[in-house]
Amino acid sequence: MFTFDPVIDAVQQGKKTFVSTFVTNEKVAKALTEFVDAQTVYTKEVSKATTNMVSSVTSETLKAFQESTKFDYNKFGEGIMKAWYNQMPKK
């Protein structure tokens, strides 16, 4: 199954590179790097949860569609015609 982890890692690595290149204060750079690491963990969890949700919804939708195609329209029509015929006044 496709995951977004490589994309997330690439973006987050870009942020870390930006911090290491342009932030000269070591304490600030460390804090920003820790923040980016926390973002990485969070974003990967959100991505995983979203992928699982989409997978489940798609699977259940396909099951429901397959069940709906099994409906016997001939039997349904016969039942309606019998009900209508039984409602007709007798002569």
Per-residue pLDDT of the chain (91 residues; tens, 9 = 90+): 578 999 999 999 999 999 999 999 999 999 999 999 999 999 999 999 999 999 999 999 999 999 888 877 788 888 888 777 777 776 6
How far, CA to CA in Å, does 60 sit from each of 10, 37, 54, 67, 88? 33, 35, 10, 11, 42
User: What's the total number of domains in the chain?
Assistant: 1
Cα-based distances in Å from 35 to 38, 40, 43, 73, 85? 5, 9, 12, 60, 74
Rounded to two decimals, what is the model's pTM?
0.69
Residue range(s) defining the domain that contains residue 56: 5-87
